[in-house]
């Protein structure tokens, strides 16, 4: 037990889910609930209930997540707007028939539904923009403005302006990086 203690933390309980292999390309040393650094596949952690929902929906790439967000934003925007119109029509019709005005809370509901509809519509527009950027990235259509700029320099010219690489003072990757986040606290006697 003493061998597994480091500064009061029990390292024998360190989860093996810290790093994983990508199921699509096999690239190792990946963190769960992120995207593969090699192929872009979403690396789901099935012990997390939200990842399970993403896996059930088939959302495993950024493009699919944007598509799901587009659908959710559009549907909620339309439903909020339709509820706003329905409530307004109902209480206007009621006022016409009975001269009874709507309760004051209804006006707050009008405001809330209007804000939800506008917010979700704006999110829909933003996700459309993101989808076009992601599809441009996939097909290679995104071009940088550097190639069209006259002030750009070639890589050979850039080497003149950059200092030489300091290969003597390279810091190796730490074997214990990010491990203290998941250590269990051990009580001291």
pLDDT tens digits, one per residue of 48-88: 555 556 667 766 677 777 888 899 999 999 999 999 999 99
SS3 content of the chain, % helix, strand, coil (to 5): 55, 5, 40
The H or E element containing residue 34 is strand 34-35
Using CA atoms in the order 11, 12, 18, 23, what is the torsion angle rounded to 10 degrees? 160
pLDDT under 70: residue ranges of the chain: 1-19, 44-55, 58-60, 137-152, 171-183, 189
Q: Please state whether the predicted TM-score (pTM) of the whole model is above 0.75.
A: no
User: Are 67 and 131 within 8 A, CB to CB?
Assistant: yes
């Amino acid at each position: 037990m003493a061998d597994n203690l480091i500064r009061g933390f029990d390292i024998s309980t360190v989860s093996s889910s810290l790093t994983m292999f990508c199921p699509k390309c096999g690239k190792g040393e990946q963190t769960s609930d992120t995207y593969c650094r090699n192929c872009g596949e979403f690396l789901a952690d099935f012990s997390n209930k939200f990842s399970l929902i993403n896996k059930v929906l088939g959302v495993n790439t950024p493009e699919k997540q944007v598509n799901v967000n587009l659908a959710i934003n559009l549907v909620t925007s339309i439903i909020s707007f339709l509820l706003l119109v329905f409530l307004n029509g109902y209480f206007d019709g009621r006022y016409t028939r009975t001269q009874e005005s709507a309760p004051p809370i209804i006006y707050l509901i009008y405001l809330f539904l209007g804000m939800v509809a506008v917010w979700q519509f704006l999110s829909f527009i933003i996700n459309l923009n993101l989808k076009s950027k992601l599809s441009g990235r996939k097909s290679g259509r995104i071009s940088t403005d550097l190639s069209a700029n006259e002030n750009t320099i070639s890589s050979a010219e850039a080497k003149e302006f950059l200092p030489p690489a300091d290969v003597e003072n390279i810091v190796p990757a730490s074997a214990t990086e990010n491990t203290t986040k998941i250590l269990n606290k051990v009580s001291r006697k």
